[in-house]
Amino acid sequence: MSARMAKDPDPVVPFDPSVFEGPAFRKKREVPDGLWMRCPGCEGMLYRKVVAENLEVCPTCNYHFRVPARQRIVQLTDTDSFEEFFTDILPDDPLNFTWRERKYGEYIKEYQAKTGTDEGVLTGVAYIKGRRAALGVMNGEFIMGSMGSVIGEKLTLLIEKATAEKLPLIIVCTSGGARMHEGALSLMQMAKTSAALGRFDEAGGLYIAVLADPTTGGTTASFGMLGDVIIAEPGALIGFAGARVIANTIRTELPDGFQKAEFLLEHGFIDRIVHRKELRSELARLIDYCES
């Protein structure tokens, strides 16, 4: 060792986290997990149980929290009436796609374990206040509700079933857009579902699209916007591309909240905004009105 290094007044000591007691290593004193939640609408602290009993809506400001597919089915349908179909359509990794150094197949397994569902949509037939209907509910928790081949195929089969059995069709959308992990295959689902809806329409079927937060990208650009009646939940983000992408492309300032349900209703893109508490009754009313 040279004399110069030995005299170093501030030598570099290897970092040992076991002896460090700074703030970053102290356990955070947080609210017990799962008991309380903060509302993004009113910033209030909410008792999670109260929100759950209120259909996942803030009792103070009516902020609509996102709802996983199975819970949504319970909210919308008559008790135990949902009969699930097309459960044998399962995801694959046709492009052998790797993202962020992980295989797409690994993501699928991770989300299957996390959400308890095989893919991003549940499809079946259920009763809504006694009215039989074909029902598809997207699961925003599954890879951000992105639409890949399974969602496209299951929804197409559901639309064809509704056509053959002359059932009203309801699809609850919540989606981050097309699933990039499947490349062009995910984009093809837009054409496939739209063509099936075209045949359903020619056969005289009633299709109600329910747009929940968020509905974007390829989902908006296909079955999301093809409803005979398009309902949105209050405050839902609905759009095709993200606001920043649009602003950068057309180089102009965009109006406030231009991708919110309320703005879209005002400008004629959707037909109505329905509070979650009213959604089940509204669907039943629409089915009666269109079938009478």
In the complex, least distance from residue 234 CB atom to Zn ion, rounded to whole angstroms: 12
Measured in residues, the chain has a length of 292
Our CB check for Zn ion shows the closer of 183 and 234 to be 234
Residue 195's contacts (CB-CB under 8 Å, 6 or more residues apart) are none
Q: Cβ 65 to Zn ion, closest distance in Å?
A: 9
CB of 41 to Zn ion, least distance (A): 4
Those residues whose C-beta lies under 8 Å from the C-beta of residue 207, and which sit 6 or more positions away, are 168, 169, 170, 171, 197, 200, 201, 226, 227, 228, 229
- Spell 253-286 as b/e; 16+ CB within 10 A means b: eeeeeebbbeebbeeebbbebbebeebbebbbeb
| Interface contacts to Zn ion, rule CB under 5 A | 39, 41-42, 58, 60-61, 63
Cβ of residue 52: shortest distance to Zn ion, in angstroms? 14
Is the CB of 40 or the CB of 116 nearer to Zn ion?
Answer: 40
CB within 8 A of 154, min separation 6: which ones? 86, 89, 119, 121, 123, 136
Residue 232 tokens, joined:
């949105």
Output 62 or 117, the one with its CB closest to Zn ion.
62
Q: Of the two residues 10 and 43, which places its CB atom closer to Zn ion in the complex?
A: 43
> For Zn ion, which is the closer residue by CB, 59 or 105?
59
Residue 43 CB, nearest approach to Zn ion (Å) = 7
